[in-house]
Amino acid sequence: MNIHIINGPNLNLLGVRQPEIYGHETLGDIEKKMRQRFEPTGVALHFFQSNSEGGIIDALHAARYAHNADAVVINPGAYTHYSIAIRDAISAIQIPVVEVHLSNIHAREPFREGSVVAAVCRGRIEGLGWRGYLLAVEYLRDILEPKS
Ligand code: DQA
């Protein structure tokens, strides 16, 4: 099983960026925790971060068409709230995509409440910090696992 984890703008600054909102873990810390948890179970994880919309779109296309990924976990950062191009890329790849947000976007500024990608994602996890990524992969592993 091959799952891609895509993070958008400013998430490279996790750990130093508003830790009271986003937590103290860096993106590297999160990657390490995820690899420790899932790699022994046979799930291959691929991590990608970009501060640009095009970089995220290319990564979505590559996940499906170059790497044959089974699923994607995406935190599009602020693009969540307005990128129709990322929404279209999620629709185009036709594999399960789970939207994750570290913070509870409904408990913050009103402009964060809307997500233009939510409707084309399988589901969304928000407000649970770095553990949201872990729960998203747990879910995907469960639905993708061949059942005997
Ligand atoms: C975020 C929430 C967004 O509103 C914000 O722009 C981010 C991070 C989150 O993970 O809580 O960059 O996606």
CATH, range 2-144: 3.40.50.9100
CB atoms closer than 10 angstroms to residue 42: 9
pLDDT at 146: 79
Q: Quick one: which atom of ligand 1 is closest to the CA of 127?
A: 11
pLDDT greater than 90 at residue 58: yes
> Is the CB–ligand 1 distance for residue 75 below 6 Å?
yes
pLDDT at 3: 98
> Is the CB–ligand 1 distance for residue 83 below 6 Å?
no
pTM of the model: 0.97
> Is the CB–ligand 1 distance for residue 112 below 6 Å?
yes
Known active-site residue 79: no
pLDDT more than 90, % of the chain: 97
What span, in angstroms and rounded, lies between the C-alpha atoms of 85 and 6?
15
What span, in angstroms and rounded, lies between the C-alpha atoms of 64 and 94?
8
Known active-site residue 22: yes
Pick the residue whose CA is nearest to atom 6 on ligand 1.
78
Q: Averaged over 31-59, what is the pLDDT?
A: 97
148 falls in which pLDDT band (50, 70, 90)? low
> Is the CB–ligand 1 distance for residue 103 below 6 Å?
yes
Q: Quick one: which atom of ligand 1 is closest to the CA of 76?
A: 13
Residue ranges of E strands in 50-132: 71-75, 97-101, 123-126
Residue 65 and residue 97 in contact, taking contact as beta carbons nearer than 8 Å: no
Q: How many CA atoms lie within 13 A of 124 on its CB side?
A: 20
pLDDT digits (tens, 9 = 90+) for 66-124: 999 999 999 999 999 999 999 999 999 999 999 999 999 999 999 999 999 999 999 99
